[in-house]
Structure 1
Amino acid sequence: MPPVGPALAPPVGPSAAPSASPGVTERPSRRLPRVTGAVVIGAVGAAVLLAGVVMLLVLAAQHGYFGPLARVIACGVLAVALVTVGLIIHRKDPGNVGSPVLAGAGLAAGYLDITAMTWLLGTPVRAAMGVAAVLTLAGLGLAWWWGAQLIAVIATVGALVLVPFVSGDDLLTATAFLILLTAVSTPASWRRGWHVLLGCRVLPTVIYLTTLILAASPTDSRMPLLRVGAAVLAAIPFLDWWLLRPMAARLVRLGGEAVDPATVRAHALTVVPLTLPLWAAAISSPGWVAALLATALLVVSLVHWVVAKDLVMVAGCTVVTVLAGLALPIALLEGDALWLSVALLCLALLDVHRRTGQVSALWVAVVFATIPLVHAITALPDQQTTRSAAERALEALTGLAETATVVAVLLMLGKVAAESTRPPANPSAVRSGWIVAATTAACLLLKGPVTAVTDTIALLIGYQDGAAPLGRGLTTVCAAVIVTVLLMKSRGAGRGAAIRRVGGYVLMGLILIKLCLIDLEYLDGVVRVIAFIGVGLLMLTLATAYSRTIASPSGPDQEATDSDAAGVGAHDLAPHPAGSAGSATSAPGRPDRRPPRPGPTGGPDAARPPVDGGAAGPPGGGGSWAPPGT
């Protein structure tokens, strides 16, 4: 290596300033706006200015400061001035944050001014919406041209949040302008990385329209138009999903960037919020209207659920399908019929996951399964109400469906957890823990449906006095049967079977405590006898089955036989000392293929007796032990 001398030393002075790496050009990011102090100050200033615009249009009218035309002209002049100043600043200094802030505030002020014209000057709403759409497209085109998401964010948020305040208390006009801005601004969010704009153009409209629909009376004269607006808003994400890729590819020619998977996933996330107003309209509408809205939403979401390949879109369509499926029962049913429909819907989702392997169906089922779980827990206390046999039968069916839902969810979660387990964790042990949890849930939630079944039978035969004690006794016996099945399925070797056995022992112990401390006091007559005899017979059957499979063997020969029959016995798991009987002999008919073990002369391995005619080991342990029959 040559020495570093004066000729190789870096220059000192003004010319030594660091230079950019060759081939690397620095340019401002077009994806996420940098949140600097200037951006924060500009955003706050735009908010204050737009609040002043609202005061100019509304408060000035209340106090009679200016006439309607003067207020509209003043607001329009202010909007044009803001956009013009922003253009001038951007022409002189493209990196100045003030230019997109001023332009965005001017666009929002113009949109508010056009909205206020509908009630200040009596401008037809359709004509005003046409002008507002042109203004929105012009503003979003400016944002694309500059590559500044900040323009679109300030303009969209300012307009969507403040439009209801300048619409003259006309809720339908405000709703129309909100939906218009949400729909027309869709192409702007196709730009790569413009996710902030995507959320800003969706959430204000969804919150406003959903609240308005839920707060309005079903007989309100404005409800039909609100339902139409909700349907239009629900159609936006599905049309967006179809147009995103082809239209974004064409817009690349105008200076945009090719669509990326993150943008597609972000737009797929808007499916659920944009359909919430239509779901709210369905559950709050009467009869055939609710059926029509729910069916339309269900069909559209199901079609996209089948056609879509993107996982996020599939998950969103799964949620929308569930909501649409619940809309009709919520609108038309009540009581146990409603809870039964929720439980059956969760079971259907679990079956979809089992058949197709879609994880989204599983997680949606897990979320919605909390509803049957909470209802089943609240229904556990005895309800001393006079109900007919049909009502009690429906209650029993609902309880069984809810119990099956909770158990199926826990079992499916155990399967997924075991499949995703990596060493050194034991997948069998993980799944066994979930199986024990599912068994526990089944034992706890059985009381409601079993009691309802006994009450139904008692009402049908006309003998109601012993229904409650019979339900208690049958609940104990059914829980013992479930735990017995768990223990019978846990007779193998391995850590998973051991975990299931321990869990089963604990549950059986709790059942015995309940039987001796609670049922002994509250049960009487034949029911008490049946409960004790039934649990006792189950435990005797279990003991008999266990004695043939996992009982301790009596000797080494029996150990080998048991290990062959049951899998793994104590002989396979226990270490054998050198020269012991368990290590020196092999089971009849099984050749010993272990390698020879050297031993000291005269020791226990020095000379081995022949086994079934085999040759004895030579002195010193150097020979081989011939297997029988050779």
Structure 2
Amino acid sequence: MTSPRSPFVDPQLVTRLSDDFASLGAQLGHVGRNLAILRTQLDAAVAPPQPAPPQPAPPQHAPPQPAPPQPAPQVAPQPVQPQYRPPQPPPQYRPPQPPPQYWSPAPQQARPRPQLPPRTPWWQRDGVISKLLAVAGAGVTLIGVVMLLVIAAQAGFFGPVARVTAGAALSIVLVGIGARVFGRTGGRVGGIALAATGIAGAYLDVMAVTSIYGWLVPPLGLLVALGVGAFGVALAAKWQSQSLALLVVVGVAVLAPIVTDGITLVLIGFLVVIQIACYPVQLVRPWPYLEAARTIPVVLALLLAIALSVVDSDSSNEYWLLASSIVVALVGIAAVVPYGRRRVDVLGSAMFATAALPLLFTSALFERPIVVAIEAPFAAVLLLIAALPMFAAHTRIAAVTVAVLALLQTTFAATDRNTLAIALLVVAAGFIAASDRLRSKVAYGIGFGFTVVAGFAYLAQASPDSVASASRAVENLGSSVVLAGAAAIAVLVLLVWVGQRSGIVAKSTVEPLTFLAGLAGLYAMTTATVAAGVAIAGRDGFIGGHCVATITWMIVATLVLMRGLRVRSNAHLTLLCGLALCAAAIAKLFLFDLATLDGLFRVSAFIAVGLLLLVAGTKYARAFAERESAAELAEQQASDGSPAPAAR
């Protein structure tokens, strides 16, 4: 009978160690034999030479006698040279054999493939059913409280005091029971649901006392509601339960319009209060869903109220809506400013932008000066937030998006038809310059967008038919068109230059951008020239303006072609633009100026364009001749073997 193996000694490990030691001993023995051979060779190399053996004396002439037996000649012993044996390779390591087994192992079977546990349906997961039942119970209970406060009042059941007292008592009892249940094992879900139902019921009860029965004036009612909401949020923070705060806020937001009988100022005030009450907990607990729950209801209520005020022109609630919108926007800004990059997530930044929407839409309720006074400071604050690197990227993008909308409203409200394009171009230049300094593609894109909007405004002010007709030009074109055209040319040059210099625009996009900017600048220059002529001399100035415009086209074309000769970068694009502009100037000269201009203006236009064409042709002919001469000289010197001259 074999003894059981020790649980602390592995026999296979002992066998492997034994084999390792045997292999190590064989290797050491092989090294020792090689050292002995080397020692023998060294001893033979340093041994002294052996003396030669004595030679026998020659024989005497004597009678022959029997020769005595001669001893065998002795040979000097030679040193023994040991035979060299090449070193034998070490014995190959053989993996240790498993120890003999004294029991017959069970036949190995294929290991079964692990199977994932079956996916549990969502309704069978831990806590799902209890949470659903708790939420449903809270909702049904709150509906019952609303029915007690509103429907019972409409039907005349009980008295006002009984209804209000019953609602308040029920709320207090629910909060007390919820606190007791929360402290017991497994009572977290039930305790949260009961406490949330009681707090939301108390908030609705305060709303009913204020809006239905009128026992509290609105300021005092809002103050009491602020205390109730603050208690609920503080309890949620203590219990570390976002669900508690969500149930309170969502329950109030859904059922409050029933208590106030629609979208009223009282409803907006109570929703603003619940938004403010939830703000302190955001400084302690980063609860993004609570941020959305406290922001979206009040924003929707304000937008609906603003829309109703726009439809009802006799409404006198504009300033109350403006004040509420300002408070909501400030609370939204305060939700992101203390955090910076630390805890503001994408949903928080989205709610920050959402909270600013009502203030943007209040511009529909007021005259232009008030709109400018509202939107300009608001845009400045948002641009400051967008420029500070302490905020997260999504927060800055949300800020700059709302700021752009506020700037557009400010620009449209502060200008008229004649100055709108100029104001938009000034804003575009500011964003483009900022993009060069900050290396910001967002700022560059905003500047490009303002440039496009300014282009449409400029087209509305100086349409093509106004440029082509003398009577319409006299009516529509003036000094503002001249200023707008000059500003447009400057902004287009800045747009292309910053895009190339800072690398914001891809190289493959530079050529199309330059071409489009050239076309827009050409139109702006033409309208500005014609408008300047009209502003100076009226109808005669219209003809003179077109004459100057044609000559200016040709001058610009000549300059572009000369630049193509001097600068080799983008030479192909420069040549195409110059030739296209030459063709446009010639086409305008024959198709429009020949029929419109008369007298000295027509002669001046043809002579100036012709001379400029001759100058351009002469320059190009000279340049190509110099290149051909240089090429021939280089070829000749290459055939003679002399070094080619350095290219200029």
Q: What TM bracket, shorter-length normalisation?
A: 0.5 to 0.7
Partner of 1:174: 267
Partner of 1:398: 484
Conservation of the 8 A alpha-carbon contact between 1:318 and 1:364: no
Partner of 2:279: 186
Match of 1:367 among 449, 464, 470: 449
The one-letter code sitting in structure 2 at the alignment partner of 1:451 is V
Taking a change above 3 Å as real, the CA distance of residues 361 and 164 of structure 1, as seen in their structure-2 partners, is farther
Taking a change above 3 Å as real, the CA distance of residues 52 and 533 of structure 1, as seen in their structure-2 partners, is farther
The one-letter code sitting in structure 2 at the alignment partner of 1:393 is S
Taking a change above 3 Å as real, the CA distance of residues 186 and 550 of structure 1, as seen in their structure-2 partners, is farther
Deviation at 1:207, TM superposition (A): 4.3
Cα distance in 1, alignment partners of residues 594 and 524 from structure 2: 21
Conservation of the 8 A alpha-carbon contact between 2:246 and 2:293: yes
Residue 212 of structure 2 is aligned to residue 117 of structure 1: no
Taking a change above 3 Å as real, the CA distance of residues 360 and 77 of structure 1, as seen in their structure-2 partners, is farther
Cα distance in 2, alignment partners of residues 485 and 47 from structure 1: 77
Taking a change above 3 Å as real, the CA distance of residues 390 and 198 of structure 1, as seen in their structure-2 partners, is same
Partner of 2:355: 274
The one-letter code sitting in structure 1 at the alignment partner of 2:465 is D
Conservation of the 8 A alpha-carbon contact between 2:332 and 2:352: yes
1:234-273 aligned within 5 A: 234-244=329-339, 261=342, 263=344, 267=348, 270-273=351-354
Q: Which has the larger radius of gyration?
A: 2
Cα distance in 2, alignment partners of residues 157 and 559 from structure 1: 88
1:530-609 aligned within 5 A: 530-549=604-623, 553-554=627-628, 557-558=631-632, 560=634, 582=638, 585-588=641-644
Deviations 1:506-525 (A, max 9, x none): 45444544444454445444
Cα distance in 2, alignment partners of residues 588 and 176 from structure 1: 87
Partner of 2:436: 354
Conservation of the 8 A alpha-carbon contact between 2:473 and 2:534: no
Partner of 2:532: 453
Conservation of the 8 A alpha-carbon contact between 1:214 and 1:284: no
Cα distance in 2, alignment partners of residues 471 and 233 from structure 1: 54
Conservation of the 8 A alpha-carbon contact between 1:366 and 1:409: yes
Deviation at 1:374, TM superposition (A): 1.9
Deviation at 1:375, TM superposition (A): 1.5
Conservation of the 8 A alpha-carbon contact between 1:376 and 1:448: no
The secondary structure found in structure 2 opposite 1:432 is: helix
1:117-516 aligned within 5 A: 117-122=209-214, 123-141=216-234, 143-144=236-237, 149=242, 151-153=244-246, 155-160=248-253, 163-168=256-261, 171-189=264-282, 194-210=287-303, 212-213=305-306, 216=309, 221-244=316-339, 261=342, 263=344, 267=348, 270-281=351-362, 284-286=365-367, 289-290=370-371, 292-294=373-375, 296-297=377-378, 300-301=381-382, 304=385, 309-310=390-391, 312=393, 314-315=396-397, 318=400, 330-379=412-461, 380-383=463-466, 392-402=478-488, 404-405=490-491, 408-409=494-495, 411-413=497-499, 415=501, 418-419=503-504, 421=506, 427=507, 429-459=508-538, 464=539, 466-491=540-565, 496-516=570-590
Deviation at 1:440, TM superposition (A): 1.9
The one-letter code sitting in structure 2 at the alignment partner of 1:121 is Y
Taking a change above 3 Å as real, the CA distance of residues 101 and 407 of structure 1, as seen in their structure-2 partners, is farther
Cα distance in 1, alignment partners of residues 406 and 530 from structure 2: 33
Between stretches 274-283 and 126-135, larger displacement belongs to 274-283
Cα distance in 2, alignment partners of residues 148 and 550 from structure 1: 82
Conservation of the 8 A alpha-carbon contact between 2:474 and 2:534: no
Cα distance in 2, alignment partners of residues 210 and 46 from structure 1: 29
Conservation of the 8 A alpha-carbon contact between 2:336 and 2:344: no
Deviation at 1:485, TM superposition (A): 3.9
Taking a change above 3 Å as real, the CA distance of residues 66 and 351 of structure 1, as seen in their structure-2 partners, is farther
Cα distance in 2, alignment partners of residues 440 and 277 from structure 1: 40
Cα distance in 2, alignment partners of residues 582 and 511 from structure 1: 44
Query: Matched residue pairs, number?
Result: 529
Deviations 1:332-378 (A, max 9, x none): 54322344323222222222333444444333323333321221233
Between stretches 98-107 and 406-415, larger displacement belongs to 98-107
The one-letter code sitting in structure 2 at the alignment partner of 1:309 is M
Structure 1 gaps of 5+ residues are 20-33, 246-259, 422-426, 561-570, 572-579, 592-630
Taking a change above 3 Å as real, the CA distance of residues 366 and 2 of structure 1, as seen in their structure-2 partners, is farther
Cα distance in 2, alignment partners of residues 541 and 139 from structure 1: 85
Cα distance in 2, alignment partners of residues 103 and 163 from structure 1: 18
Deviation at 1:439, TM superposition (A): 0.8
Conservation of the 8 A alpha-carbon contact between 1:451 and 1:472: yes
Deviations 1:559-589 (A, max 9, x none): 75xxxxxxxxxx9xxxxxxxx9857745456
Deviations 1:432-458 (A, max 9, x none): 332222112222444443332222112
TM-score for the superposition, normalised by structure 1: 0.65
Conservation of the 8 A alpha-carbon contact between 1:454 and 1:467: yes
Cα distance in 2, alignment partners of residues 91 and 550 from structure 1: 97
Conservation of the 8 A alpha-carbon contact between 2:208 and 2:260: yes
Taking a change above 3 Å as real, the CA distance of residues 488 and 118 of structure 1, as seen in their structure-2 partners, is farther
Deviation at 1:553, TM superposition (A): 3.0
Deviations 1:218-253 (A, max 9, x none): 9854333333333323322443344337xxxxxxxx
Partner of 1:603: none
Cα distance in 1, alignment partners of residues 522 and 135 from structure 2: 58
Taking a change above 3 Å as real, the CA distance of residues 169 and 200 of structure 1, as seen in their structure-2 partners, is closer
Structure 2 gaps of 5+ residues are 1-94, 99-103, 118-125
The one-letter code sitting in structure 2 at the alignment partner of 1:501 is L
The secondary structure found in structure 2 opposite 1:498 is: helix
Cα distance in 2, alignment partners of residues 529 and 146 from structure 1: 91
1:1-80 aligned within 5 A: 68=160
The secondary structure found in structure 2 opposite 1:458 is: helix
Deviation at 1:392, TM superposition (A): 1.9
Deviation at 1:60, TM superposition (A): 6.1
The secondary structure found in structure 1 opposite 2:221 is: helix
TM-score for the superposition, normalised by structure 2: 0.64
Deviation at 1:127, TM superposition (A): 3.4
Conservation of the 8 A alpha-carbon contact between 2:638 and 2:644: no
Cα distance in 2, alignment partners of residues 353 and 57 from structure 1: 58
Counting aligned pairs with the same residue, the percent is 25
The secondary structure found in structure 2 opposite 1:553 is: helix
Taking a change above 3 Å as real, the CA distance of residues 588 and 445 of structure 1, as seen in their structure-2 partners, is closer
Cα distance in 1, alignment partners of residues 626 and 557 from structure 2: 23
The secondary structure found in structure 2 opposite 1:372 is: helix
Conservation of the 8 A alpha-carbon contact between 1:115 and 1:167: yes
Taking a change above 3 Å as real, the CA distance of residues 131 and 438 of structure 1, as seen in their structure-2 partners, is same
Deviation at 1:137, TM superposition (A): 3.4
Taking a change above 3 Å as real, the CA distance of residues 386 and 536 of structure 1, as seen in their structure-2 partners, is closer
